[in-house]
């Protein structure tokens, strides 16, 4: 297992992810230092018309932003940028990492189940051992973050599927 994602020189091609990244960066800035209470009104954009056309990327919540970092580092290689199971290492695996963002994962799999399979890995959950256990790498809080990031990806996927219904059904994207 020497695969190591190299985010520094990996171009982020996907517009959704780019938007997420932008949101995350903005969030980081907005958060500033720890406990730096006085949110300055100056940073709030003037109340001009919102960018009406763009499905503007909502800022990621704190947990999601942290989860994003973790996901990029540890999960993306197999599960893919958007969690669709198409990471660049996925072709190597049998069974393939499944989509984390389909309806089943979104509606039938609880946070607790996600947490457990992430912590314990596939084998302990009666699934493929190719899904590694992360409980020694990631703490409970980090796992919670990554779960909330998966939920964010699911909402994105759902929104995308709703806007391009038929296409999505045909291509399975």
Q: Which is nearer to ligand HEC, 57 or 149 (CB)?
A: 149
Contact 133, 119 (CB under 8 A): yes
Range 12-71, binding ligand HEC (CB under 6 A)? none
Q: Which long-range contacts (CB under 8 A, 24 or more apart) does 8-17 make?
A: 12/81, 14/81, 14/82, 16/57, 16/82, 16/156, 16/160, 17/81, 17/82
Q: Which is nearer to ligand HEC, 20 or 117 (CB)?
A: 117
Q: Does 122 participate in binding ligand HEC (rule CB under 6 A)?
A: yes
Q: Does 109 participate in binding ligand HEC (rule CB under 6 A)?
A: yes
For residue 34, give both structure tokens. Answer: 């720890």
Q: Does 117 participate in binding ligand HEC (rule CB under 6 A)?
A: yes
For ligand HEC, the binding residue among 19, 127, 135, 173 (CB under 6 A) is 127
- The 10 Å Cβ neighbour count of residue 92 is 12
Euclidean distance between CA atoms 55 and 21, whole angstroms = 15
Range 71-100, binding ligand HEC (CB under 6 A)? 74-75, 77-79, 89, 93, 95, 97-98, 100
Q: Does 130 participate in binding ligand HEC (rule CB under 6 A)?
A: yes
**What dihedral do alpha carbons 44, 16, 111, 123 form, nearest 10°?**
-140
Residues in the chain: 173
For ligand HEC, the binding residue among 128, 133, 161, 173 (CB under 6 A) is 128
Tell me the helices (H) and strands (E) count for the chain, helix number first. 7, 0
Q: Does 146 participate in binding ligand HEC (rule CB under 6 A)?
A: yes
Q: Does 118 participate in binding ligand HEC (rule CB under 6 A)?
A: yes
Q: Does 135 participate in binding ligand HEC (rule CB under 6 A)?
A: no
Q: Is the peptide bond before 95 cis (omega within 30 degrees of 0)?
A: yes
Q: Where on the chain is the footprint of ligand HEC (CB under 6 A)?
A: 74-75, 77-79, 89, 93, 95, 97-98, 100, 109, 114, 117-118, 122, 127-128, 130-132, 134, 146
């Amino acid at each position: 297992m020497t695969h190591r994602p190299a985010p520094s020189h990996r171009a982020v091609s996907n517009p959704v992810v780019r938007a997420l990244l932008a949101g995350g960066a903005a969030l980081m800035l907005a958060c500033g230092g720890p406990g730096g209470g006085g949110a300055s009104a100056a940073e709030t954009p003037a109340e001009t018309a919102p960018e009406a056309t763009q499905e503007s990327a909502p800022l990621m919540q704190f947990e999601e932003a942290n989860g994003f970092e973790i996901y990029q580092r540890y999960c993306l290689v197999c599960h893919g940028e958007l969690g669709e199971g198409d990471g660049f290492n996925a072709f190597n695996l049998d069974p393939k990492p499944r989509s984390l963002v389909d309806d089943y994962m979104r509606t039938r799999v609880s946070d607790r189940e996600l947490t457990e399979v992430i912590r314990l890995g596939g084998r302990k959950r009666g699934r493929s051992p190719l899904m590694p256990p992360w409980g020694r790498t990631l703490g409970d809080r980090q796992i919670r973050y990554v779960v909330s990031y998966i939920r964010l990806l699911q909402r994105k996927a759902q929104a995308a599927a709703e806007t391009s219904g038929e296409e999505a059904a045909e291509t399975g994207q």
